[in-house]
């Protein structure tokens, strides 16, 4: 399995669900992270706590660990190398990917356990400069 470097971001995030017919929400100015995906069944938004779209079902309290990139599209097993030790530590994840990187979100209450599990698996973690 690949070993990666991760940055523990300082943001508190919410994962939100809207009806799929809702309009595409614009990111707030200065948002540290704003991800939107639409499927036939839902419109999901990941955003900073406090930036949740009106009327959304909200699951707050997430923290992000960002894989230092850029990562080549040909790399195999990055997410698995993170998800497996977290599953072994009973830490639930919500995963996002960008063009250059992957982000693993865990509940804030599980952040310490997640960091310990990933470090034990050989990954390097450090906290973002705030």
Model confidence pLDDT, tens digit, residues 12-21 = 999 999 999 9
Parse the chain into domains and list their residue ranges.
Answer: 5-127
Determine whether 40 is exposed, middle or buried from the number of CB atoms within 10 Å of its CB (0-12, 13-18, 19+). Answer: exposed
Model confidence at 60, in pLDDT bands (50, 70, 90)? very high
- The predicted model scores a pTM of 0.92
13 Cβ contact list (under 8 Å, min separation 6):
33, 46, 47, 48, 49, 60, 62, 63, 64, 105
Q: Quick count: other Cβ atoms within 10 Å of Cβ 59? A: 15
> 5-127, which class in CATH?
alpha beta
Long-range CB contact pairs, 29-33, < 8 A, 24+: 33/9, 33/64, 33/103
Structure tokens at 91: 């830490």
């Amino acid at each position: 399995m690949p070993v990666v470097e991760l940055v523990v971001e300082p943001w508190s995030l919410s994962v939100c669900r809207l009806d799929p017919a809702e309009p595409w929400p614009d990111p707030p100015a200065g948002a540290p992270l704003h991800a939107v995906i639409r499927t036939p069944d839902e419109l999901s938004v990941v955003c900073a706590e406090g930036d949740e779209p009106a009327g959304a079902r909200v699951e707050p309290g997430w923290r992000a660990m960002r894989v230092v990139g850029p990562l080549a599209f040909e790399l195999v097993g990055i997410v698995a190398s993170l998800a497996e030790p977290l599953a072994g530590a009973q830490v639930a994840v919500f995963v996002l990917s960008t063009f250059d990187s992957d982000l693993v979100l865990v509940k804030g209450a599980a952040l310490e356990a997640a960091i310990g599990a990933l470090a034990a698996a050989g990954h390097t973690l450090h906290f973002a400069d705030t």
